Structure 1
Amino acid sequence: MRRFQILVCDGPSCGITHESDRLVTLLKAGVAADPGLKARCHVVAYNCFGRCSDGPNVFVRPLAPNEKGEEEPRDVSGPGFYPGVTEEKAMVILERHVGEETPIAEWVEDY
């Protein structure tokens, strides 16, 4: 099974206006409650995706074999960007994109 990192925007707009810290707390709790996810998923606050009006924004990315999931990456690009994530959407993303390794086509965008 693949390892994943979930980046939750913590920039000024997502962090303050959209209260993205609630998503971080919720996702971390979801990962901690599932032994299968706990072994292969990390939730990290990310500086900013630059899509402030779309927030809160989340990016799910696979981790390379030796990559540390608790560290913020230098560069983020490719598929896996989810704009406008609600608490309900966050849990579906965790279950489907990470748990089942199936991105949610109707929500996900390239970044």
Structure 2
Amino acid sequence: MKILKSVLKFARARAGRAPEDNAETEPVAASPSGASAPDADRSAARFQLCVCDGPSCGLSSGPLRERLAARVAADPDLAARVRVYDYGCFGRCGEGPNLFVRALAEGDDPDGEPPVEQLLRQRGFYPGVDAAACDRLLEEHCGRGQPVEDLVDDY
């Protein structure tokens, strides 16, 4: 666990971000008209989609983040329940772009940095996410609350 925290801290420092710097984070929500609604009811969010923005994945995660944001904004149900978050680094750079679907518990901040310990207790790490995997995890994991077993990996 200490090693993972050290890797995350190092990766964030190399990316020019402080360990707790969330300045690049933008909550994604939309009204039924498709207009951005960052002040949407935060308590309704059920999932935080943590997109790896580390030194390696950050180079290839742009299209993934754009697809997630577009899909979430286009679907009022997803917009109310899902937030997209630039995470930093998961430490599995050779497998990116990587994404973690974090199930939110009562009181969790959907726009805040998730504790590593919480990620280790959940099954939601998706390495090498392409467009098809992105669509499936939005429909199955975020829509039905079940990890996509043939895509999900242990973190």
TM-score (norm 1): 0.90
What's 2:53 paired with? 10
SS of residue matched to 1:110: coil
How far the C-alpha of 1:72 sits from its partner, in A, is 2.1
Aligned to 1:85: 129
Distance in 1 (alpha carbons) for counterparts of 2:135 and 2:113: 21
Provide structure 2 residue ranges, at least 5 long, that are not aligned to the other structure.
1-43
CA distance, structure 2, for counterparts of residue 79 and residue 68 of structure 1:
19
2:65 & 2:128 partners in 1: Cα distance? 14
Residue aligned with 1:12, SS? coil
Runs of 4+ with deviation above 3 angstroms: none
- Between the two proteins, the alignment pairs up a number of residues equal to 109
Give the structure 2 partner of residue 46 of structure 1.
87
Alignment gaps of 5+ in structure 1? none
Larger proportion of strand: 1
Mean Cα displacement is larger for which, 75-84 or 52-61?
75-84
User: How much has 1:67 moved relative to structure 2?
Assistant: 1.5
Amino acid at match of 2:107: N
Identity fraction in percent:
50
In structure 2, distance between residues paired with 1:68 and 1:40: 13
Q: Which structure dedicates a bigger proportion of its chain to helix?
A: 2
**What does residue range 1-111 of structure 1 map to in structure 2 within 5 Å?**
3-16=46-59, 19-75=60-116, 76-77=119-120, 78-111=122-155
Indicate the RMSD between aligned Cα atoms, in angstroms: 1.5
Higher relative contact order (CA 8 A, sep 6+): 1
TM-score by length of 2: 0.66
Greater C-alpha radius of gyration:
2
The Cα of 1:70 is off from its aligned counterpart by 1.5
Deviation at 1:110, TM superposition (A): 1.7
CA contact (8 A) 2:133 2:151 kept: no
